[in-house]
Every structure is written in structure tokens, then in C-alpha cells.
A and B are shown apart, each in its own frame.
Chain A
Amino acid sequence: MDTSEDILQQASADLVRGSDTARPAKAARLSPSFVSWLQAGPMMLVFLAFFLIPLVFVVIVSFWDYNEYQLLPAFSGRGYTDTFEGCIAQLPELCTIAKTYVKTLKLCFLVWAITLFIGFWVAYFLAFHVKSKTWQMGLSLLCTIPFWTSNVIRMIAWIPLLGRNGLVNSGLMKTGLINQPVEWLLFSEFSVVLALVHLFTFFMVVPIFNSMIRIDKALIEAAYDAGATGFQTLVNVIIPLAKPGIVIGSIFVITIVMGDFITIGVMGGQQIAAAGKIIETRVNALQFPAAAANAVILLVITFLIITMMSRIVDIKKEL
């Protein structure tokens, strides 16, 4: 393919040189690799300037010193020691920071499990039960549109439902199931998990759906013909083949929840500590090295989770 394209390109360049088009000489002089650089270079520059270099700065600054009002560019482990202050002395009790990370992991696991369950069955329905292409498109779009709208709005949308005088509480009161409004519905771990599931199930549905529509229907027919029950087909054929999508979706959800501080802040009533929240709090206190140190810790944990998951499947091959 590549070679035939190259030959064609060469041929067309020759043709151009022969004809009298606007800029023949220039068009012929550009080598394919130069064109590639020209095409991909700008995007690479953006990632370099706004992603890769910033990441390097996070790591460097995490080893800088600081006082109340400024950064001191001198090597120091204070960002890290301040973070883990008193942790060793407190053992075997968990210190605040360790508890925060455990809680973040717990939230993360809950959201992951729920979004995986919902996402899998929604994708399954769209991929295997919706036969017409138009309906498939329409229903997928229906699931996608909320992803295109503001997260904060989708968070505060729970207030009229879950609040002290919200629909759920007043409904339960009217039916006589409870006498007092249930307090844990809003500004609690419950509401945080609910909102995260509400916001991010999309990231599970799309990759799992993409894996599922690539499954050859003949394989499923074959499983039925060989006498497999629906459940056996699901476990032995569909789930293994949908695994890449499941892994990619899981990586998205886990990394988003690990770093989230906005949903946890708004839905937790600013009361629940989480990994992302620590960074935000440190930044607000202008303790940048400590913020950066926490960012590095979060990055390492996230990276470990991704490495573990990508052992299961080659991500690049799937995209």
C-alpha cells in the first residue's frame, strides 16, 4: 500500500511538473516525510507545550522548596514530607492522607463497578438487540448528547431531586415510608457516586459498544448451534471479545474518578476529601510544591492502574 502510494505520488508529481499548474515546482519539491512533519507538527507542538512540558514541571516543582507566599527553586523533599507528615508515627493507624487515598480508591471502585454494569448492558442492548442501523444511531446519539453538556449542570440537576425538600424525600414522606427527610441523599458519598455514575457511564458505553459491533454475528450463531445457552455464549464468546472495550472504558472511568475534585466537591458539599481535592486545596493555599507532590503521587497510582489494565489488552491495536 505504502509503496504503491509513493509511486503514485511520484507519478503525479512528475505529471504536475509536466503540466503548467500554479505551483508545480514547489509541489514537487516537498518530500513525503517533510509533509508529514508539516501535518502532524502543529498538534505535536500543542501537546509538547501544554501537556508534556507541564508534566515535567509538575515533577520538578514537586521537589522544590516553598514558604508562605512563593516558590523557592531549590531541591527539597518538603512537598512530600509535608504530605505524609506524622504518617509513620501514627502506624498502624492510617493518617489523614492515607485515609483520603483509600477513600478515593473506594469511590473509584464503586463508580467503576456500577458504570461497568450499566455500560455493558446498555452497549449490549444497542449492539445486539437493536437491529436497524437508524435506530442504533439514534439511540447511541441519545446517550451521547448529555456528554456534550455541562458537567456542573448535570450535577446541580440532582439538587431538586435529592435535597432535603426534594422530590425523593417529599415522595417518601407522602407515602408514609419515612417521617423525617433522609439526610444522606445529598452532599454525601451516595450523591457523589450517583453523580459520577450519571456523568461518566458514557465513557463505558462507547468503547464497549465499539467492541461489540465488531463481533462477527456468525460466532454467536455458531455458539447457539453448538448448544451453548445464552449465558454460556455471553461468558465464553461475547465478554472475551468485548474485553478491549471493557478495558478502555475502565481506564477512562478510573482515571477520571481518581483525579476528580469538582464532582466530589459539589456533590459532597465540599466535605469529602479525595486525591484531586488535596491538590486543589494545596494550590489554593499557594503551596505549589506540595500540590505538585500530590499530583505526582496521583499520577503514579493512575499509571500503575493503567499499566495493570493494559496488560490485559493492547490498547493501540484496538483504536
Chain B
Amino acid sequence: MKEGRPRSFYVLAIFFAAYVLFLYGPMIAIYVLSFQGPQGGLTFPMNGVSTYWLAKLFQGTGIVDLGAAFRRSLLLGIIVMAVTVVLSVAAGMAFRRKFKAQSILFYSAIASLIVPSIITSLGISLEFRIVDDLIKAHWNENFETSMGLLTSGLGAHLTWTLPFGLLIMFAIFNRFDPRLEEAARDLGATPWQAFRHVVLPIILPSVIGIGLFGFTLSWDELARSSQAIGAVNTLPLDLQGLTTTVTNPDIYALGTIISAVSFAVITLALGTIHILNKRQAAKGSDAGKGLV
């Protein structure tokens, strides 16, 4: 408030730096350790430097079929991302005017976010088991199961990503100037045209943010997958399975690869958001400039 910084600034700056170090320090440790030589172990000091353990993962070590799990996680992540974006944007639009069942949807989303994941996961697994039993009893005795990556697994992930998507949409429309849309309507745009040419370009950076949340939350999801995904494993599930048995740095190598994908997606999304924001600032129409 006054010139110069108070002493509390420096104390808190050090506290913040310590927190960031606490956040990143351990993660950096395993990224470094995954580049050990063939004789490397689980702890420092490093035993040589190589890409041996990373390469070993791609050859298939026998402990985990990395390729298949990788593809499954990627497929699920992309589908979750797409569904999360579409459903969140649609529901976010709905929340801009009052409608019946508004508070039911809102409280469902919040509850889905805070009910412990293991309960949601158990519930989905029970639901699918009961459905399976019904099918076996009434229609087809040889029916195996309806549980799977893109049925129960997809549903489980959506209960985790959709609340985040909806909350981001609330944040977007809190800042959105509805007069821009009214102007479009005055000019004769249909609701769809107003959405497509006015609303969507403005909210696009944040929509990419929703996609980023959708993909990375699904890609790293574990607790909800644990009971609900059926017979196959996603990458985080395989990784969790390894924690009890493995004594080699290949678990770190796997960790490094999973993180690398997360970071790549985050960077890609943030980069796109940045470019879109710049474009909007540079050559966005002058509509709205006189209003704000």
C-alpha cells in the first residue's frame, strides 16, 4: 500500500518459495532418477546416466503392457475431453437463464465433486453388476459384462470432470457481457448463429481450458477408475499396481512418461489459449469495445 515492501512480504515470499520447492522437488527427483544407468536403483546417488529404463518400458518389460494401457488411457482421455467440453458448454449456456431442475443439476455436480471417489466408484460397479445379473437372468445366459473402458469407465471419469467443466463455465459467464449477444440478435442472428459467431469465439480460450481439465483429470484418474473400469487397466492403475512390487527405476521411467504427456497437453492447451487471446486482442471485432 505504501512505498517499499513490508517485512511480511519477504517472510511470505520465502514461505511461498518453500511451498513451490515442496511441490516440485520430489517430482523432479524421480524425473532425474528415471535417467539412470542400467545398474540404477530406487534412490540417489544416481548410478550412471542413460535412457535405458525408458527404452526398457517401450520394449515391454513383462510387468505391464505399457503400449496397450497407454493407448487405452489416451483413448479414454480424448473421449472424456470431448464429452466434457460439449456437455459443460451446453449446460453452462442453460444456466444463463432460469430453468426448472437448475438447482438439482447444480447440487448433483457439487455432490459428485465431494462425495468420496471410492463411493462413486463402488456405486457404479454395483450398478453394472446388477444390470449384468439382470441380463444374464432374463435375456442371455452367456452374457459376460457391460462394464468396460467406454461404459462404466467413461461414466466414472465424467462424474469427476463434468463438475469442473461446469464450474469453469460459471466463471466464464460471470464475466461475459450479454449485450454482445443481444446485439447479434438485433442484427437478426438466430440463437445458433449468435452462439457460433459471437459467444463461442469469445469463450473459446476458456473452453480449451475445460478440455485441458477434462483430458488431464481423466489421464491421471485413479480412485474412480479403481472399482468401476472392469477388467482392463488404465496407465495410472498399472502404475499403482507396480508400487507394491517393483524395485527398479522403471517405475520412475513410467512416471516420467505419464507426466510428460500431462505436461505436453498442458503446454499445448496453454499455448493455444495464449494465441487465441492474442488474436482476440489484435484482430477481434470492435464490437463491445464501446460498451466496456
Given contacts A145-B266, A157-B26, contact A52 B155 (CB under 8 A): no
Chain B residue with minimal CB distance to A158? Answer: B26
**Chain B CB within 10 Å — which of A12, A24, A155, A165 has the most?**
A12
Contact of B239 with A153 in the complex, beta carbons under 8 Å: yes
Bound-state CA distance A148–B118 (Å) is 20
Residues in A whose Cβ lies below 8 Å from that of B26: 154, 157-158, 160-161, 198
- B82 surroundings in chain A (CB, below 8 A): none
Choice from A23, A122, A152, A315 contacting B239 with Cβ under 8 Å: A152
Let me know if B120 and A51 touch, CB within 8 A.
yes
Closest to B256 in A: A153
Expressed in whole angstroms, the Cα–Cα distance for A130 and B50 within the complex equals: 41
Say yes or no: A61 contacts B126, CB within 8 Å: yes
Q: How many whole Å from B287's CB to the nearest CB in chain A? A: 16
Residues of the A chain whose Cβ atoms lie less than 8 Å from the Cβ of B227: 280, 283
Using A160-B43, A279-B118 as known contacts, say yes or no to A142 and B190 having CB atoms under 8 A apart.
Answer: no
Within 8 A of B (CB), among A261-304: 261-262, 266, 270, 276, 279-280, 283, 288, 291-292, 295, 298-299, 302
B114 at interface, CB cutoff 8 A: yes
A153 to B256, CA, bound (A): 8
- Are A148 and B22 neighbours in the complex by a CB distance under 8 Å? no
Neighbour of B118 across the interface among A19, A163, A217, A280, CB < 8 A: A280
CA distance A124 to B49 in the complex (A): 41
Asked whether B189 is an interface residue with its Cβ less than 8 Å from the other chain, the reply is yes
* CB neighbours of B95 from chain A (8 A): 40
Closest Cβ of chain A to B77, distance in Å, is 12
Q: Which residues of chain B from 240 to 292 have a CB within 8 Å of any chain A CB?
A: 240, 243-244, 251-252, 255, 258-259, 262-263, 266, 270
Looking across the interface, which residue of chain A has its beta carbon closest to that of B246?
A156
The reply on B236 being an interface residue by CB < 8 A is yes
Do residues A125 and B13 form an inter-chain contact, with CB atoms below 8 A? Answer: yes
Instruction: Given A12-B188, A40-B91, A125-B16, answer yes or no on A51-B266 (Cβ-Cβ < 8 Å).
Output: no
Q: How far is the CA of A298 from the CA of B117 in the complex (A)?
A: 11
Q: Are B155 and A46 in contact (CB under 8 A)?
A: yes
Q: Which B residues are CB-close (under 8 A) to A21? A: 188, 190
Q: Does B233 contact A (CB under 8 A)?
A: no
Q: Is B87 an interface residue (CB 8 A)?
A: yes
Q: Which of A79-87, A89-97, A251-259 contacts the other chain? A: A251-259
Given that A148-B262, A150-B220, A153-B27 are contacting pairs, would A58 and B126 also be in contact in the complex, using a CB cutoff of 8 Å? yes
B110 contacts which chain A residues (CB < 8 A)?
A: 315
A27 and B252 contacting across the interface, CB-CB below 8 Å:
no
A150-B236 CB under 8 A given contacts A39-B91, A156-B252, A160-B43: yes
Within 8 A of B (CB), among A46-75: 46-55, 57-58, 61, 71
Interface residues of B in 147-164 (CB under 8 A from A): 152, 155-156, 158-159, 162
Complex interface: chain B residues within 8 A of A19 (CB): 188
Task: Please provide the chain B residues from 118 to 164 with a CB less than 8 Å away from any CB of chain A in the complex.
Answer: 118-120, 122-127, 129-130, 133, 152, 155-156, 158-159, 162
B27:A157 contact, CB within 8 angstroms: yes
Give the chain A neighbours of B162 by CB distance below 8 A: 43, 46-47
Max chain A CB contacts within 10 Å: which of B12, B22, B122? B122
Residues of A within 8 A of B103 (CB): 316
Q: Which of B91, B113, B130, B243 contacts A266 (CB 8 A)?
A: B243
Asked if B97 and A159 make an inter-chain contact with CB atoms under 8 angstroms apart, the answer reads no
Give B18-60 interface residues, CB cut-off 8 Å to A: 19-20, 22-27, 29-30, 33, 42-44
A40-B90, A146-B24 known; A259 vs B12 contact (CB < 8 Å): no
Of chain B, the residue at the smallest CB distance from A11 is B185
B170 within 8 A of A: yes
Q: A19-B188, A57-B123, A251-B114 are in contact. Are A46 and B30 (CB under 8 A)?
A: no
Interface string of B217-234 (1 = CB under 8 A from A): 101101100110000000
- Does A2 lie at the interface of the complex (its beta carbon under 8 Å from any beta carbon of B)? yes
29 A-B pairs within 8 Å (CB atoms) are namely A8-B182, A12-B194, A27-B190, A39-B90, A42-B87, A51-B123, A54-B123, A54-B126, A118-B19, A125-B16, A129-B8, A148-B220, A149-B259, A150-B239, A151-B236, A152-B236, A153-B239, A153-B259, A157-B27, A160-B30, A167-B44, A170-B44, A255-B114, A259-B118, A262-B240, A295-B118, A295-B122, A298-B118, A319-B167
Q: List 7 A-B pairs, minimum CB-CB distance, nearest first.
A: A259-B116, A54-B123, A50-B155, A36-B99, A157-B26, A39-B94, A12-B185
Where the two chains meet, the residues of B that have a C-beta atom closer than 8 Å to any C-beta of A are: 1, 5-6, 8-9, 12-13, 15-16, 19-20, 22-27, 29-30, 33, 42-44, 86-88, 90-91, 93-95, 97-106, 108-120, 122-127, 129-130, 133, 152, 155-156, 158-159, 162, 166-167, 170, 178, 182, 185-186, 188-192, 194, 212-213, 216-217, 219-220, 222-223, 226-227, 236, 239-240, 243-244, 251-252, 255, 258-259, 262-263, 266, 270
